[in-house]
Structure 1
Amino acid sequence: MRKKVQSLIPALLIVFTMSAQGRSLLRYPKCASYDTLQNRYLVTCLALLAASKIVEIDESGQQRIFKTGLGPIISNHIVGDIIYVSYDKGVYAINLNSGNLVANISIPEAQLLTGMASDTSGYLYVSDNALVGKIFRIDLADYSYSSFCLGLSSRTQDVEFDPENNRLVAVGYSQAAQIQTISLPNPVITNITTYPCGPYDGVARDRDGNYYFSCYETRKIFRYDKNLANPVELMSNLPGYPSNIDIDAKNNVLSIPYLENHKMAFVGLDVDFTADTIWAQDSLTVAFQGTTFNGATDWKWDFGDGDSAFGQTVQHTFHSPGCYDITLFGNVGGDSYHMTKSDYVSILADTVGATDVIGYPGKKFEVQINVTNNAPLERLIIPIDYSGSLDLHLDSFTTAGCRTDYFDSCRSTYSDTANHLVEFLLAFSANVGDRLSPGMGPVMTLYITIPFSAVPGTSSIKMGGFEGHQASFIGSSFNYVPVARDNFVSVEWKCGDANNSWTVNILDVSFIINYLYKHGQAPQSLASVDVNHSGGINILDVSYLINYMYKQGLDLNCP
């Protein structure tokens, strides 16, 4: 019995959006190809003009920029260690390891080059979305090209290679477009009787030779068997308009770009699952539902905490903080498949708080803001209320030496110095570093000064939020409020330190005498000069202090 593996992206329909749940780099995603060498998807995003880009999505669902600066790009296709990217009148060849441009294959007679496919003879085929459909062929040995096939359905949009029959399967973006096959190496066009679809946008072939067609305007995906017969409406009423679909044959996962919705979805065709909820700040009971498009049976679950269950639909309760990998096993036609979704369920129990600090007037000190997180974080919003009797002054802040020192954004998004309120945003760029891994420790340092006028007392450092501002921890699939812990800044006096210099010397004796007999300034704390603990201040305290400093007298004994 063969054992099949599906373990790439953490959800049945993983939808990456421009939302508060996590920054997405996807903007008009058009096509996604799976890079088997580095276990990632590469998504071409149309955007606008030079804003077009290729986005990498790794096994954990994290996004990074793979390539920018190419101008308007459309589709992509991977052959070996090269990703080919189409644009209106040409194709770029980019090295997958370095991201460097290897070649720019210009095809000036093309109108709008779109979908691509490669055969087993070293050729790349590119469809041209012209009024009269056609396909160009590129020799990957020397990047020369030729016009391969004319007279296809208008607006030829995508093309797929059929290795069993050594032919191409093409579709067009028009209401009357048909599915067509083109024989290789000499092109003979055959029209296939099709189910009404509307404009086709993409075609893909799965591991078993079945074909999938995306219908853009009707928001449907059809599946045909390997003979391009027996159409089945596999998906309908999709949450967006499906563009140039593709299938990762290694994992049998269908990728669906929703061009106008700025989303990507990934669907496991053999075994997949969904859950009614995937995170909480305390214990969590999750209802799981196994799904299959290929008739899987004999379901078995592994919840990542030592427990397991059987059945297509199950419930499980998670008790301890942490992130859990969920695996579902199933059998399809006598073969065993499984889908693993890393860090799929999260019990957070996260906190944010500061260190308690003791200082004295006129001095600057550090306050570390500490975070405990049980799931990777992309952004942290931390409001701080540092009001209180000490009238603290916030001088500056930094992430240097902290868990977030590689974050490229550490800035104040709100400041009200009069009321001692401030809010910070800590965020990383998908181009630099990684999300904040689960752990505990400081994420930023505040530098605060206690005014010279401060009297002994305490001010709190609160992170529970204030009007219109609330602490938020943001990951790839959640946005939640952590538990905030209040901390304190305390001003103390030193026994015998009458002039508030934080040292005890002859100047303190002079300060007390001036206060007692010459109408001098009063000590900030009278208790600090009651060195003999008599309950009052008089000449006996002066004598006691002199004996302590110069005659090895008794230790100072303030209240």
Structure 2
Amino acid sequence: MKREKLVFSLILFLGLILSFSSTYAQDPGNPDTVFFTTRQNEVYFPLPSGPGLAFVHIFFENDDSVAGISAPFIFSGPVVYDSTTFRDSRVNYMLYKNVNETLTGSNKVLLSAIPVTEHIIGPGRGYLATLCFRVIGDTGHVVVDTAFFPPSNHLTFVTSEPEGYTPVFIKGVLAVVAYKPGDANHDMTVNVTDVIFLINYLFKNGPPPYPFVAADVNASCNIDVVDVIYLINYLFKGGPPAKPGCDW
């Protein structure tokens, strides 16, 4: 019985997406919105030769319940698609959440999510998913936009009625910033001043590192006293050099 319900729900969802290719309902209530976010609307290229790893979070907010999502995207700029993750996502609890990567050679990816036996997505805000890219250039911009994905997929939210509508969409334009791992004060040199800068930031309310990833020298996706010790060991005890930081 559960299997029959699953199959019926998936067929219904796919049928709705197909039918919305020509006609869309109005978004109920305040406009629901989809946009992209990184730590500072930037992606980072570690010098001297990269590549960097960029986590581009797809953020959505809705004021009414949502019973299904179809979300095709296209990207451009000095990046190569790596993967998609639902870590920390509002739809991570769903059995049916899918990533179609068949057109990543054309810089397109299709995400979909539908609660079948689970509860539908209630009003709220947070991540849909995170696109992971390898950053292969040290200048320019990365642009992520909505797209048409064959055979008939457009950016669509589905209500519980069910009716489909297109949420407000804000494309992502993210600057590429080159940095030197370990260079916490952004003077393009790694030395004892970076250690002092980090200590001031962590313990004396000093300014934050820029970019943040430069000070995450052990690539733990966090900056803490372990990074200070790591950098001291590199500078004064022959330890390993700073790693490209994690910008989750």
Same fold (TM over 0.5): yes
2:65 matched to which residue of 1? 376
Structural mapping, 1:381-396, within 5 Å: 381-388=70-77, 390=78, 392-396=79-83
Distance in 1 between residues matched to 2:43 and 2:95, nearest whole Å: 31
Are the equivalent residues in 1 in contact too, given 2:42–2:177 (CA < 8 A)? no
Alignment deviations for residues 7-26 of structure 1 (CA, whole Å, 9 cap, x no partner)? xxxxxxxxx9x634989xxx
1:351 matched to which residue of 2? 33
Aligned amino acid, residue 280 of structure 1: Q
Aligned residue among 87, 108, 112 for 1:400: 87
Aligned residue among 436, 453, 456 for 2:139: 456
Aligned residue among 481, 485, 493 for 2:166: 481
Structural mapping, 1:123-142, within 5 Å: none
Alignment deviations for residues 12-62 of structure 1 (CA, whole Å, 9 cap, x no partner)? xxxx9x634989xxxxxxxxxxxxxxxxxxxxxxxxxxxxxxxxxxxxxxx
Aligned residue among 425, 439, 444 for 2:129: 444
Distance in 1 between residues matched to 2:172 and 2:112, nearest whole Å: 20
Gaps of 5+ in 1: 1-15, 24-278, 282-345, 507-559
Q: 1:419 deviation in Å?
A: 2.0
Distance in 2 between residues matched to 1:366 and 1:381, nearest whole Å: 20
Aligned amino acid, residue 472 of structure 1: T
Helix, strand or coil at the partner of 1:386: strand
Greater gyration radius: 1
Distance in 2 between residues matched to 1:484 and 1:365, nearest whole Å: 21
Distance in 2 between residues matched to 1:493 and 1:445, nearest whole Å: 22
Helix, strand or coil at the partner of 2:87: coil
Distance in 2 between residues matched to 1:504 and 1:438, nearest whole Å: 47
Helix, strand or coil at the partner of 2:113: strand
Helix, strand or coil at the partner of 2:105: helix
1:429 matched to which residue of 2? 116
Are the equivalent residues in 2 in contact too, given 1:22–1:378 (CA < 8 A)? no
When residues 387 and 469 of structure 1 are mapped into structure 2, their CA distance, relative to the original with a 3 A threshold, is farther
Aligned amino acid, residue 107 of structure 2: H
TM-score (norm 1): 0.26
Q: 1:460 deviation in Å?
A: 0.3
When residues 413 and 493 of structure 1 are mapped into structure 2, their CA distance, relative to the original with a 3 A threshold, is closer
Structural mapping, 1:196-235, within 5 Å: none
When residues 456 and 375 of structure 1 are mapped into structure 2, their CA distance, relative to the original with a 3 A threshold, is same
Aligned amino acid, residue 421 of structure 1: K
Aligned residue among 6, 26, 30 for 1:280: 26
Helix, strand or coil at the partner of 2:12: coil
Aligned amino acid, residue 479 of structure 1: G
When residues 359 and 438 of structure 1 are mapped into structure 2, their CA distance, relative to the original with a 3 A threshold, is same
Structural mapping, 1:160-179, within 5 Å: none
**Greater RCO between the two (CA within 8 Å, min separation 6)?**
2
Distance in 1 between residues matched to 2:84 and 2:14, nearest whole Å: 26
Helix, strand or coil at the partner of 2:178: coil
Helix, strand or coil at the partner of 2:84: strand
Count of paired positions: 161
CA RMSD between the two structures: 3.1
When residues 485 and 368 of structure 1 are mapped into structure 2, their CA distance, relative to the original with a 3 A threshold, is same
Helix, strand or coil at the partner of 1:441: strand
2:12 matched to which residue of 1? 19
Distance in 1 between residues matched to 2:14 and 2:134, nearest whole Å: 36
Helix, strand or coil at the partner of 1:462: strand
Are the equivalent residues in 2 in contact too, given 1:353–1:371 (CA < 8 A)? yes
Structural mapping, 1:117-128, within 5 Å: none
1:504 matched to which residue of 2? 189
Distance in 2 between residues matched to 1:417 and 1:503, nearest whole Å: 35
Alignment deviations for residues 486-526 of structure 1 (CA, whole Å, 9 cap, x no partner)? 1123212349x9xxxx95259xxxxxxxxxxxxxxxxxxxx
1:412 matched to which residue of 2? 99
When residues 493 and 480 of structure 1 are mapped into structure 2, their CA distance, relative to the original with a 3 A threshold, is same
Helix, strand or coil at the partner of 1:347: coil
Q: 1:416 deviation in Å?
A: 1.6
Distance in 2 between residues matched to 1:416 and 1:396, nearest whole Å: 13
Distance in 2 between residues matched to 1:396 and 1:414, nearest whole Å: 9
Aligned amino acid, residue 443 of structure 1: L
Q: 1:395 deviation in Å?
A: 1.6
Distance in 2 between residues matched to 1:505 and 1:385, nearest whole Å: 37
Aligned amino acid, residue 399 of structure 1: F
Distance in 1 between residues matched to 2:100 and 2:178, nearest whole Å: 35
Distance in 1 between residues matched to 2:128 and 2:179, nearest whole Å: 32
Gaps of 5+ in 2: 1-8, 17-24, 192-248
Aligned amino acid, residue 455 of structure 1: D
Q: 1:442 deviation in Å?
A: 1.0
Q: Sequence identity of aligned pairs in percent?
A: 19
Q: 1:466 deviation in Å?
A: 5.6
Are the equivalent residues in 1 in contact too, given 2:84–2:99 (CA < 8 A)? no
Structural mapping, 1:282-301, within 5 Å: none
Are the equivalent residues in 1 in contact too, given 2:110–2:149 (CA < 8 A)? no
Distance in 1 between residues matched to 2:93 and 2:63, nearest whole Å: 19
2:154 matched to which residue of 1? 470
Distance in 2 between residues matched to 1:372 and 1:457, nearest whole Å: 29
Higher helix share: 2
Q: 1:347 deviation in Å?
A: 2.1
Helix, strand or coil at the partner of 2:89: coil
Higher strand share: 1
Q: 1:400 deviation in Å?
A: 2.2
